[in-house]
Structure 1
Amino acid sequence: MTGILAIDVGGTGLKAAVIDDKGALINERARVETPHPCPPSLFLDAIGGLVKGFPAYDRIAVGFPGVVRNGCILTAPNLGTEGWAGFDLAAALEKQLGHPVRIINDAEMQGMAIISGKGLEFVLTLGTGAGTALFRDGDLMPHMELAHHPIHDDKTYDEYLGNAAFEDKGKKHWNKRVEKAIDLIFTLLHFDQLHIGGGNAKHIETDTLPKNVTIASNEAGLEGGAFLWKKR
């Protein structure tokens, strides 16, 4: 069976695996640290090494932490927007790896694997920074960079909820911040369901969450790649 190469780009780690058309992993997930700084040339070198020896695949799906349009990167806050703005990552990866590429924001790719497809569903990913995605009845809505809007004392969601804030404030205080963010997002959208993913979702105190808020598997960041190549 020929699979899909799924790549989940994070501010601290690059993850990849070959998945089937339902999102199940065919091989064990591989991970390397994200280079810093991480211009496109270093990124491509890291990806080439990461996927060497992988099982056969004939398509590539990439979740990227920034604004992506038509395969081109518009912003890359955690990798360095200056070096990435306007870079055609889809074309570069297709040339390097020899297969067609589809790229989307990383929170959106994760969301594709975890949403139910019913009602208004919001995805919040918590890792190096904060990522967001919005779906209505299974359809992806236009991307919002909510992570870079202010939430408190001129701090953005990225600064307020990202890993630096978690390490600085500690788990208990950081959880209070997550609760505040959930309340604000609900006031903004009145979502039916909120899914929280990302590497720091494991630190959330689930007993305080509203019933319509759930924690998602971090593997969804790769599994969602299957849905870039088909409708749910």
Structure 2
Amino acid sequence: MAETKSAKPRTQKHTTSKTTPARAGIENILAIDIGGTGLKAAIIDANGKMRTARARVATPHPCPPALLVDTLHTLVEPLIEHYPATHVSIGFPGFVRNNRVLTAPHLGGEGWTDVPLAQMLAERLGGPSVRMINDAEMQGLGAIEGKGLEFVLTLGTGAGTAMFRDGELMPHLELAHHPVSRKHAYDEYIGEAARRKAGNKRWNRRVEKIIGILESLVHYDKLWIGGGNASRLTFDLPANVATVSNELGIEGGARLWHPRSIRDSM
């Protein structure tokens, strides 16, 4: 039976000019969005404007650290040849702290425990300054307005989350692995595998339930929903919830170099 589609969820566009300017002297930033199904990269300027088209390749599976670095180097080499980048921003689908990967649930393979991925890629690229955060956080940097408590939910291979207060990134909570039902964590409840198994109609009901849980848990002023599956939402969103373009996972890389966007521990 054909599925009936309700009013299209609100989509809002943002530019990084709404927050404090990036550090002086930054012209070309290589922004990399690592996903469970695809690796994406582009050169952006200090305000998030795209200087090149977005390049993309499929994510290898399994994808241990050395293979990921090799694949990313091949992907970005044509970009940095024409637009040399002194700064690199990476969004990674896992728990990231101090530029090191602590977990990588969607990449499989061995060796993803306390991996200095930012350093590994910097050395491979010839020594640019590299910063790495969770991919939902980087997409959030491209979406937020910088006022009040803003929460980000990304719907893709898994479910990512990020929280910001007055434009500043807060400590990461890996809600993707928090139980949402007796048998499922967020990843298993609203991730891509769950959508394929349950079907879009049931999956939409699950996402609607999660929005209610997050509102009760966080009491956010605004919830931004991104990721590749945000376009599959069919129900009416609350007034303080909006979907955003998945391309913000690249454009948010500019804000990673803005003074107030991150804490000193990065």
TM-score, normalization by structure 2: 0.84
Unmatched 5+ stretches in structure 2? 1-25, 262-266
Distance 2:104 2:227 in 1: 17
Task: Give the secondary structure class of the aligned counterpart of 1:56.
Answer: coil
The one-letter code matched in structure 2 to 1:162 is G
Does the Cα contact within 8 Å between 2:151 and 2:224 map onto a contact in 1? Answer: yes
- For residues 240 and 110 of structure 2, the distance between their equivalents in structure 1, rounded to whole angstroms, comes to 38
1:34 aligns to what?
Answer: 59
**Equivalent runs, 1:77-226 vs 2, <5 Å:** 77-80=105-108, 82-98=110-126, 99-205=128-234, 207-226=235-254
Which structure has more RCO (C-alpha within 8 Å, separation ≥ 6)?
2
* Pairs within 5 Å for 1:28-67: 28-54=53-79, 55-67=83-95
| Partner of residue 75, structure 1 | 103
RMSD between aligned alpha carbons? 1.3
Q: CA deviation at 1:48?
A: 1.0
Say which SS state the counterpart of residue 167 (structure 1) adopts. helix
The number of aligned residues is 231
In the alignment, the residues of structure 1 paired with residue 112 and residue 49 of structure 2 have an alpha-carbon distance, to the nearest angstrom, of 31
Residue 22 of structure 1 is matched in structure 2 by 47
Alignment deviations for residues 68-108 of structure 1 (CA, whole Å, 9 cap, x no partner): 11111111111137411111111101100021110011100
Comparing both structures, which one devotes a greater share of its residues to strand? 1
Q: Which runs of 5+ in 1 are unaligned?
A: none
C-alpha deviations, 1:92-145, integer Å up to 9, x for none? 011000211100111001101110111111000000000000011111111000
SS in 1 for 2:111: helix
Distance in 1 (CA, whole Å) between partners of 2:37 and 2:88 is: 21
Aligned-residue sequence identity (percent) comes to 58
Q: Does 2:34 match 1:9?
A: yes
- 3-state SS of paired residue (2:220): coil
Instruction: Kindly indicate whether the alpha-carbon contact (under 8 Å) linking 1:2 and 1:56 is maintained by their aligned counterparts in 2.
Output: no
What is the alpha-carbon distance in structure 1 between the residues aligned to residue 117 and residue 184 of structure 2?
A: 30
Asked if 1 retains the 8 angstrom alpha-carbon contact of 2:27 and 2:46, the reply is no
Q: What is the deviation of 1:172?
A: 1.0
Higher share in helix: 1
- The Cα shift of 1:16 comes to 0.3
Which secondary structure state, in structure 2, belongs to the residue aligned with residue 92 of structure 1?
A: helix
CA distance in 1, matches of 2:77, 2:236: 43
